[in-house]
């Protein structure tokens, strides 16, 4: 069975923090505040973020940059 979310579309908190040049604690705070959707696979400690959720978080900034240009 193939999942609709490919494993390449799943990022760890560490990967997202590196991509956004933010601290891991900031990313975890976004998750707690509901600004960034994340999930944990049963029995695993790693928190995963789907790439579309990350893009949704960035969308307002991308729109603002586009309007400013």
In the structure, what pLDDT confidence band is assigned to residue 5 with cuts at 50, 70 and 90?
low
For domain 9-68, give the CATH number. 1.10.1660.10
CA of residue 14 relative to chain centroid, distance: 10
- How confident is the model at residue 26, as a pLDDT? 97
* Cβ atoms of 53 and 11 closer than 8 Å: no
Question: How far is the C-alpha of 1 from the C-alpha of 61, rounded, in Å?
Answer: 36
- String of DSSP letters for 1-47: ---SS-GGGEEEHHHHHHHHT--HHHHHHHHHHTSS--EE-TT---E
Task: Spell out the domain ranges in the chain.
Answer: 9-68
- pLDDT tens profile 11-47: 999 999 999 999 999 999 999 999 999 999 888 889 9
């Amino acid at each position: 069975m193939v999942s609709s979310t490919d494993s390449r579309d799943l990022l760890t908190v560490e990967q997202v923090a590196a991509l956004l040049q933010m601290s891991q604690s900031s990313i975890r705070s976004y998750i707690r505040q509901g600004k960034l959707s994340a999930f944990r696979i049963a029995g695993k400690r790693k928190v995963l973020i789907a790439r579309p959720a990350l893009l949704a978080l960035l969308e307002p900034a991308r729109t603002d940059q586009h309007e400013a240009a």
